Amino acid sequence: MITLIQKYCWHLTLMLLVSIATLSLWPVTYLPNVPGTDKTHHFIAYAALMLPTALKRPKHTLAIAVGFIAFSGAIELIQPFVNRYGEWLDMAANTIGLFCGWLLAKVLMYFSQKNSQ
């Protein structure tokens, strides 16, 4: 499973970036009602965004993570122009999600390597 995610890492990442941007900029009245809080949704989305990249382990993972944080900030700055509310707490949830996605990848790789020995 991990090798499959690593193989399609950039495809998954691009798909998640487009999905996050679309859902973040779509009018709230047209979004489906999903269980959980707004911050939980942000956390999960950005953890999922970071997971394939962290599993791929590129040389510049930290720079990519900083780029994801900048992407998150840009979304928050754009939202007021599309009748949404930009919140810096959303960006904090996004950043924590990125870190947890990276951490989850490390745990998955650890157990994957341990099972293959």
**Tens digits of residue pLDDT in 19-37:** 999 999 998 888 888 999 9
> Residue 43 falls within a domain, yes or no?
yes
> Residue 1 falls within a domain, yes or no?
no
- List, for residues 79-110, the tens digit of each pLDDT value: 999 988 889 999 999 999 999 999 999 999 99
> Residue 5 falls within a domain, yes or no?
no
> Residue 6 falls within a domain, yes or no?
no
Confidence tier at 4 by pLDDT (50, 70, 90): confident
Amino acid type, 48 = A
**Residue 43 domain boundaries:** 11-25+35-116
Q: What is the pTM of this model?
A: 0.92
Number of domains composing the chain: 1
> Residue 51 falls within a domain, yes or no?
yes
> Residue 30 falls within a domain, yes or no?
no
As a whole number of angstroms, the distance between CA 90 and CA 96 comes to 10
> Residue 84 falls within a domain, yes or no?
yes
